[in-house]
């Protein structure tokens, strides 16, 4: 897979395509029209790659930043910017992909388009942020990672967007720090 899907909802994963937002050099996963097309397929919104162009990519990045703004506003319990809210709601009113069942039992999207995929993302944004799971939104505990996810774990104790790489990275760093501390304590005890 070209893209990561740790958020638990397409809207969160879409907003997460600009990774490591807290760093001075965030990583852009939507770097080309092809990357956008692949994201639509890998996310499950569409069942195949579709032709996307530079205009679709610009539109995707605009929608992504609007969705990200709404997520942050919801998590901080503040009202979002009205223009951003209007933009996402306008997309949510548009027709989403139309899935059909083929004779062999496969899901098939009829005449898929970027416009339909954008509508599906906006509709998912409305569902997540306007639904009961909005209270379960968390940002990854890795200080460099900015992925927001739905914490469906028992007792809401999940700390990372995913174990690989974030959880593993933090756990390994904590282990090395404990090991260094134990080595320092042992050396201090021996020198007495």
What whole-number distance in Å separates Cα of residue 110 and Cα of residue 119? 15
- In 3D space, the residue among 153, 150, 154, 109 whose CA is nearest the CA of residue 13 turns out to be 150
End-to-end CA distance of the chain: give it in Å, rounded: 55
pLDDT at 2: 85
The pTM assigned to this predicted structure is 0.85
What b/e sequence results for 77-110 when a residue is b if at least 16 CB atoms lie within 10 Å of its CB, and e otherwise?
eeebeeebeebbeebbeeebbeeeeeeeeeeebe
Q: How many CB atoms lie within 10 A of CB 1?
A: 8
pLDDT at 176: 64
pLDDT at 177: 64
Q: Are 136 and 149 in contact (CB under 8 A)?
A: no
Strands 107-110, 137-139: pairing is unpaired
The fold for domain 10-158 equals: Jann2411-like fold (1.10.3300)
What whole-number distance in Å separates Cα of residue 49 and Cα of residue 52? 9
H helices of 93-144, where? 114-130
pLDDT at 138: 96
Q: Are 131 and 144 in contact (CB under 8 A)?
A: no
**Per-residue confidence in pLDDT tens, the chain, 192 aa:** 888 899 999 999 999 999 999 999 999 999 999 999 999 999 999 999 999 999 999 999 999 999 999 999 999 999 999 999 999 999 999 999 999 999 999 989 989 999 999 999 999 999 999 999 999 999 998 888 999 999 999 888 888 887 677 856 665 555 566 777 776 676 677 776
| 149: helix, strand or coil | strand
**Residue 176 φ/ψ, nearest 5 degrees:** -60, -40
pLDDT at 171: 59
């Amino acid at each position: 897979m070209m893209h990561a899907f740790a958020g638990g909802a397409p809207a969160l994963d879409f907003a997460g395509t600009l990774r490591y937002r807290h760093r001075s050099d965030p990583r852009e996963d939507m770097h080309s029209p092809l990357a956008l097309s692949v994201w639509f397929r890998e996310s499950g919104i569409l069942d195949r790659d579709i032709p996307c162009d530079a205009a679709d990519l610009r539109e995707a990045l605009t929608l992504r930043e609007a969705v990200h703004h709404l997520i942050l506003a919801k998590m901080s319990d503040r009202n979002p910017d009205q223009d951003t809210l209007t933009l996402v709601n306008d997309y949510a009113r548009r027709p989403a992909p139309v899935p059909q069942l083929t004779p062999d039992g496969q899901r098939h999207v009829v005449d898929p388009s970027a416009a339909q995929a954008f509508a599906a993302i906006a509709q998912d944004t409305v569902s997540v942020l306007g639904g009961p799971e909005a209270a379960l939104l968390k940002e990854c505990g890795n200080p460099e990672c900015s992925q927001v996810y739905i914490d469906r774990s028992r007792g809401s104790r999940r700390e990372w967007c995913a174990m690989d790489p974030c959880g593993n990275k933090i756990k390994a760093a904590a282990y090395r720090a404990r090991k260094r501390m134990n080595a320092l304590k042992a050396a201090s005890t021996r020198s007495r």
